Amino acid sequence: MGGMLAVLITVRGRVQGVGFRWWATSEARYLNLSGHVENKADGSVEIRAQGEDEAVGRMIRLTLEDPSTTARPGRIEDYDLKWTDVVMGAKAFGYR
């Protein structure tokens, strides 16, 4: 069993109003991650995901892979990736 990781992924492009948050929530729940996905005022979408290191790595790959192997909606043109602190006791993945 691996360690716990937490990551903040901010994606830009055609990512709002296309089902991207629904897709991210579905994938994160399948991977048993906690955190949230949120539309930001600047048109970007922020994903905060934490869980087992292998699952977090898979979420990063699924979010950024091109072409998508999971029918990810929209189009990502740019992204930022930042490791962050694990929040103990975080609950299931959801929208914000």
Q: Which domain range does residue 48 map to? A: 4-85
Question: Which CATH number fits the domain that encloses residue 63?
Answer: 3.30.70.100
Residues carrying an active site annotation: 21, 39
Q: Is residue 26 part of a domain?
A: yes
Across the chain, which has 96 residues, the per-10-residue mean pLDDT values are 89 97 97 97 98 97 96 97 92 85
Q: Is residue 31 part of a domain?
A: yes
pLDDT at 1: 53
Q: Is residue 90 part of a domain?
A: no
By residue count, the chain amounts to 96
pLDDT at 53: 95
Domains of the chain: total: 1
User: 31, 28, 35: which is closest to 89 by C-alpha?
Assistant: 35
Q: Is residue 95 part of a domain?
A: no
